[in-house]
Amino acid sequence: MGLWRDHLLPRLVHKAMSNAELAPLREQTAAGLHGMVLELGFGSGLNLPFLPDAVTRLQAVDPATVGRQLAAEALAASPVPVDFIGLDAERLPLADHSVDGVLSTWTLCSIPDVAQALSEVRRVLKPGGRLHFAEHGLCDDPQVARWQQRLNGVQKFLAGGCHLNRPIDRIVQAAGFTLESLEHRFLEQGPKVATWQYLGRARVT
């Protein structure tokens, strides 16, 4: 799985996530961020063009280092300095209460211990800081949800640990966050099992 997971899969993800339909969701999710921001799942830098002018620095975490190569053009064009601080969201090398906001787009689906990662997010967020997220996950349509459960094992195997069936809102709340906003929608492109979206913001309870 080394060649697939570490080299081929990040390139396929970059192509898939460059879908123009996702651009307004990225812009919506990044809106309101400011100061020092932590991004979980930097990937190939597709969120960089949508960071508000008020963001002064980005702390980036991602297990696939090939994404940095794919992000070279976006990094060169970005006015926001980017520090690559680690590969693992479950252990963040940041001080307590050191970031103003956290950005996560289509990442919480694939972190092995997502509860631990969100515990770390709570630890590093400053008082008043927020988690901004756009994620796919468990659908509230029972028929779609049943197929998500059936296909989840295949999805995890092929897509680097990505889950189809994580209830993102409940996971975020269980980690000690209060949801300030939450929207759901299907993407127009792609199968329903993989395109049910959670778009929201949460603050530490």
The pLDDT of residue 124? 98
Give the CATH number of the domain where residue 66 resides.
3.40.50.150
The pLDDT of residue 115? 98
- CA atoms within 13 Å, Cβ hemisphere of 26: 18
In 137-195, which ranges are E strands? 177-186
Q: Which residue is associated with the tokens 């990505």? A: 162
Q: What does DSSP assign to residue 189? A: S
How far is CA 203 from each of CA 49, 72, 123, 141, 176, rounded to the nearest angstrom?
Answer: 24, 32, 12, 27, 9
Closest to 62 measured CA to CA, from 86, 29, 82, 38: 86
The pLDDT of residue 90? 96
Closest to 2 measured CA to CA, from 81, 55, 62, 63: 63
The pLDDT of residue 205? 78
How far is CA 81 from each of CA 74, 95, 129, 141, rounded to the nearest angstrom?
Answer: 11, 19, 20, 41
- What is the Cα–Cα distance from 103 to 26, expressed in whole angstroms? 10
> What radius of gyration do the chain's Cα atoms show?
16
Residue-level pLDDT, tens digit, the chain, 205 residues: 577 777 788 888 888 899 999 999 999 999 999 999 999 999 999 999 999 999 999 999 998 888 889 999 999 999 999 999 999 999 999 999 999 999 999 999 999 999 999 999 999 999 999 999 999 999 999 999 999 999 999 999 999 899 999 999 999 999 999 999 999 999 999 999 999 999 999 998 7
Residue at 56: amino acid letter: T
**What does the block give as tokens for 196?**
């049910």
61, 111 Cβ separation under 8 angstroms: no
Residue at 77: amino acid letter: A
Domain count, the chain: 1
The pLDDT of residue 4? 75
Residue at 54: amino acid letter: A
Residue-number span of the structural domain to which 45 is assigned: 2-204
**What does the block give as tokens for 132?**
């901004």
